[in-house]
Structure 1
Amino acid sequence: MQSDEMIRARVVAGAFDTAAEEMSATVTRTARSPIFNEAHDFTTGIFDLHEGKARLIAQAPGCTLHLYAICSAVQAALDVFKNDLHPGDIILASDPGHGGTHIPDHVVIMPVFADRKPVFFPVVRAHFADSGGPVAGGYNPAARDIWQDGVVVPPLKLYEKGERRTDVFDLILANNRVETWLKGDLDAMRGACLTAARGIERVIERFGLADVRASIGHNVAYTERRVRAEIGSWPDGDYHAETFIDHDYQGAHDIRICCTARVRGSDITFDFTGSAPQVDGFVNSTLANTLSFVFVAIASCIDEDVPINEGYINPVRVVAPEGTVVNPRWPKPVGNCTCICGAEIAEVALLALSQCAPQRVGVNCHKLPLAYTSGRYEDGKPWISLNFHGYTGGAGAAYGTDGWGLYPPLMTGVILPSIEMNEMQYPMRIERHEYVTDTEGAGLWRGAPGVGTRIRFLASNITNAMLAGVRHPTRGFCGGNDGPPNALALTSEGVRLDVTEVVYNHRLARDSTIEFLRGGGGGWGAPHERPPASVLADVSNGYVSIAAAEEVYGVAIDERTLTVEQQRTTELRGDRRPAHGQE
């Protein structure tokens, strides 16, 4: 590769990344719903056609678990319209059977033409505030089939040759409880694609289509070399792990997810053979969702400076037997798959990798205590709140670092909405949102502490509450402790209801509350190997109590002086020696 080709490849890569980031900014600044303009629950990317297949060539930071699912959805849409694409077309889809995950995640795709052919495809994948169906917000724990998850939207043209298809547009709006939000969000997604198209056209005009495509090929090959180099550093072998879903909200419990990671040179296969059969409840994972969470797991093990594009995917193969919970047959419900069992898919893949790449794994946590609330403003217009603040917390540890922040890497790019804006947009007050002492998974490096949240509603509403991560909380790695379980409680008119698994269409009166405890992240490495000074700092910061420091970490702390009692600590830790080269 000549130096001028290398420079051009990096300039082209930067131009496409910039176009994807401009798409993201466009959605944020022009969308109507808080889930877009505040929480940023969407992802933008750009694809090209390579040997007749859609290929990811650029992406902006967003909701990480969307990334691979975008690939499947784009390919499915292009399979439908491959001979019927025109400038100005906009394709919309949310069909789990056509490369989708769960129905709330919609994808908008626009072809960009060069030499009179569709060559590039700006794409936005986003979680809509509502998607029709029996339950406001799109999470129906009573669903027994896909149609009870929401309104299925197969790939269709929302715009054709630049003209809005009013009949299709009106049909989509008519099946949504917050159509004003939806209209604004669809316009924002289209505007983002148009913005990217202008950037792409400038790159083609500057370098020419042939050189642009050659540069893209170089960039994809670079990413693939980097990913293969990492995988190739791991010892060949078969590494098996298993984990469990708490329940399916329909009576099934301890649903097994197992994975064998087969490392062969610079290739890796994740084989989910042996996982539980598909279940009645809505925790089944579509194949696209399973692939996406495997991608999240492998991506978290690779250096963060590696560009994310198709080269990430090429070394990875996934085996997900049909008819299992990780690849169900139509029309099983899948509405919760981006939380459960997506969390367990990433978790079990990382547990398998911990046996061959222990210093690369950790940080996973996505077992959310969900509570979706809907009601009406004083003027009668509907509102739907995802109660984002109750889901935050739980970032696990990794080699060399404690868990940090509020969102785990699975939600990288999703932004915690401003409390003040949240209280302006909804009839609610957030009375508590803080770390809770002794709610971390202990370890040589500890998980982030759990978060306690209390939301008070200023108007009556309907809430669906779904609890997970109790029987099987977030796992620790390499000898680290698991995180503690989640908890969720509803209080209305003086009556407290502790949610054990699910509460369906529960009416809350004005002045009612929802209280969340989002369990902390899992630890990495044995707790007794954590340096006493680090434990003391955690005690000083209120993350760990003095009692837990002694009981869990084997570190005795003088309560009066807040200093480590060296002799007592030595006695507590006995003759234990660090196993990971830490002193």
Structure 2
Amino acid sequence: MNPVQLSIFANRLAGVCDEMGAVLRLSALSPNIKDRLDFSCAIFDARGRLCAQAAHIPVHLGSMAYAMADLVAGREWQAGDLMVVNDPYLGGTHLPDVTVIAPVLVGPTLLGFAVTRAHHANIGAHSPGSMPVSTDLAQEGIVIAPTLLKQQGQWDVPLCRRLAGLQADARAVLPVDNARFADFAAQASACEAGAARLVALAEHDGAALAQAFDALNDYGERRARARIAALPDGQYRFADYMDDDGQGQQDIPIVLALTIRGEEASLDFTGTAGQVAGNINCPLSVAAAAAYYCFRCLMDDDVPACDGLFRPIKLYAPEGSLLNARRPAAVAAGNVETSSRVVDVVLGALAQVAPEAIPAASQGTMNNVAMGAGGEQGWDYYETMAGGTGGHATGAGLSGVHSHMTNTLNTPIESLESHYPLRVHRYQLRQGSGGSGRHRGGEGILRELEFLGPASVTLLTERRRYRPWGLAGGGEGAAGENRLNNQALPPKYSTEVAPGDRLIIASPGGGGYGG
């Protein structure tokens, strides 16, 4: 393909991913998907190599790129099939992130896959919001091994009922009418829309589609190698710490030796803590997603997001460590909190390589809040909260935004109060939380919620003890704070609340840049 054809093709694929995202958002019922946009969409070739993605959530997309080939290999795919999976040890992230995969076939020929991944606020964990302070994978919800949700266009009704939480004797014939199943059906619709667009593209371009996928990834690899080659060779070390694991262990190190040699980069996490009792462990695919994201940020915007970008990047984390945990280690917070710290560590090393290109640390946490109540009027709510980003060589950090591994939005106050028994008393920037410097870090936010009914609440947060670091002499960002009825709470915490109780979450600010 000539450069013009390749550019047109890459943008066509990106457009398919954008359309998938629009279908998913407009079809879903939960605020977590339709308001916060906690989902991702991507296109893969027949061998499971990433070829295009929408500008969605890095931790979703990077982990899919790392593991998709193993998920789709060795299967007899048929038109109308839909696979569903959430197993973190088989290419997932944590159990609430459910992946739906649709094969794209023209006649008997497999061309590729249309894929969505979305966060479900109820995946059957032992606490509302399905983000518990857990010590075992089984406590975190339903584990879905790679299974056909649809086979040749026909729903697997028992599986659908299980995902919808319906009892075996429930009267509903199909769970598609069940509100809890609506988000799964929305994912299926988005995948089928993407598959239809790829089939139309294949019918237009014929057998050239597979060659176009290859050309796109080869181009991405060339661009990645050229960018890495422009970095100075050497070994660069950086370490940072997790606050705690929620089970009494604190000051948990993540250690990186980054080696740049020619056109390749290798990341060795030897020296990182072993897996812990709490749920901040993560599978290697999540650590890979964080590393890939950091290197993608070094590249120009016009570089296509594809598998080829990651070929020059090698990753190693010892098996049984925090970043390469063994089943059945708990992983609910690894996807959200540990991935954020891996970004800080990789960027900290890259700041020694390309200091003008790397910002100070952003808030370094997703400030996870999960809550809900059981019973006939039961509800589940989950949200990540924004904070400050780091200052950088050309300007100040951003205030009140989601950063790095989470690319979601907030839940609007109107949506929050209309869906749940909650009242928002304060929602504002946290003045003075950004680190000092020539370019200040961005400000965190402060949100105060009042409970209008009894509920269970779980917090999975970080940067409450270790503050976001500054660069080039810039100051640290403020640590985050959690308070219930004005009493300080630990970073990982679960409790019952009564009507009238008030929860305050104050998110960290970003680090400052320059003295």
TM, length-normalised to structure 1:
0.83
Question: 3-state SS of the aligned residue for 2:158?
Answer: helix
Going from structure 1 to structure 2, the CA distance change for 1:371 and 1:412 (only over 3 Å counts) comes to closer
Please name the residue that 1:490 is paired with. Answer: 484
1:48 aligned onto 2:45: yes
Shift of 1:73: 4.4
Task: Trace 1:465-476 onto structure 2 (pairs within 5 A).
Answer: 465-476=459-470
1:459 aligns with 2:448: no
Separation of aligned partners in 2, 1:83 and 1:284 = 30
Q: Does 1:241 align with 2:231?
A: no
Match of 2:338 in 1: 341
- TM-superposition CA deviations, 1:64-122 (whole Å, max 9, x none): 2211112244333213xx23211100000000111111111110000011251222100
Aligned partner of 2:132 in structure 1 is 140
In the alignment, is residue 514 of structure 1 matched against residue 503 of structure 2?
A: yes
Q: Do structure 1's residue 369 and structure 2's residue 367 form an aligned pair?
A: yes
What is the DSSP-based 3-state SS (H/G/I as helix, E as strand, rest coil) of the residue aligned with 1:330?
coil
Structure 2 residue corresponding to 1:328, chosen from 319, 325, 330: 325
Aligned counterparts of 2:444 and 2:491: Cα–Cα separation in 1? 19
The answer for unaligned runs of 5 or more in structure 1 is 527-583
Compare 459-468 and 17-26 and name the one that shifted more.
Answer: 459-468
Aligned partners of 1:405, 1:450: CA distance in 2, in Å? 6
% same residue = 28
Following superposition, the deviation at residue 290 of structure 1 comes to 0.6
User: Hey, what does 1:102 align to over in structure 2?
Assistant: 94
Match of 2:210 among 188, 196, 213: 213
Distance 1:328 1:476 in 2: 30
Corresponding residue number in structure 2 for 1:385:
381
User: 2:47 aligned with 1:84, yes or no?
Assistant: no
- Matched letter for residue 471 of structure 1: R
Report whether the alignment pairs 1:169 with 2:160: yes
- Aligned runs of 1:249-398 on 2, under 5 Å? 249-362=246-359, 364-375=362-373, 380-388=376-384, 391-398=385-392
Distance 1:381 1:26 in 2: 29
C-alpha separation in 1, matches of 2:450 and 2:196: 45
Letter in 1 for 2:22: A
CA drift of 1:61 comes to 1.3
Q: CA deviation at 1:368?
A: 3.4
Amino acid at match of 1:47: F
Q: What is the identity, as a one-letter code, of the residue corresponding to 1:162?
A: G
The count of residues paired between Structure 1 and Structure 2 equals 506
Q: Which amino acid aligns with 2:252?
A: I
Is the CA contact 2:386–2:403 (under 8 Å) kept in the aligned structure 1? no
SS at match of 2:336: coil
Q: How does 1:6-45 map to 2 (within 5 A)?
A: 6-45=3-42
3-state SS of 1:346 partner: helix
Which sits farther off after the overlay, 159-168 or 456-465?
456-465
Question: Deviation digits for residues 457-486 of structure 1, max 9, x if unmatched?
Answer: 222211123342122122223332221110
Letter in 2 for 1:369: N
Post-superposition CA distance 1:476-514 (Å, at most 9, x none): 2333222111001112xxxx431023332x221112211
Query: For residue 396 of structure 2, what is the aligned residue in structure 1?
Result: 402
Match of 1:442 among 404, 429, 436: 436
Following superposition, the deviation at residue 413 of structure 1 comes to: 4.0
- Tell me if the contact between 2:438 and 2:514 (Cα under 8 Å) persists in the aligned partners: yes
List gaps (5 residues or longer) in structure 2: 168-174
The answer as to 2:413 corresponding to 1:419 is yes
Contact 1:365 1:410 in 2 (8 A): no
Question: Does the 8 Å contact 1:93/1:106 carry over to 2?
Answer: yes
Query: Would the alpha carbon gap of residues 212 and 369 (structure 1) be closer, same or farther in structure 2, given more than 3 Å must change?
Result: closer
Say if 2:343 and 2:404, in contact at 8 Å, map to a contact too: no
The Cα of 1:393 is off from its aligned counterpart by: 1.2
When residues 409 and 228 of structure 1 are mapped into structure 2, their CA distance, relative to the original with a 3 A threshold, is farther
Q: Which is higher, the Rg of structure 1 or of structure 2?
A: 1
Matched, 1:194 2:183: no
TM-score with structure 2 setting the length: 0.94
| SS state at 1:358 partner | coil
SS in 1 for 2:448: strand
Higher relative contact order (CA 8 A, sep 6+): 2
Q: What residue identity is the alignment partner of 1:430?
A: V
Equivalents in 1 of 2:462, 2:204: separation in Å? 52
8 Å CA contact 1:128, 1:182 repeated in 2: no
Structure 2 distance, partners of 1:232, 1:102, is 34
Aligned-residue offset at 1:10: 2.1
User: CA separation of 1:76/1:133 partners in 2, compared to 1, >3 Å: closer, same or farther?
Assistant: farther
- Give 2:202's aligned residue: 204
C-alpha distance in structure 1 between counterparts of 2:475 and 2:352, whole Å: 16
Residue 12 of structure 1 contacts residue 203 of structure 1 at CA under 8 Å; is this kept in 2? no
In structure 1, the partner of 2:171 is none
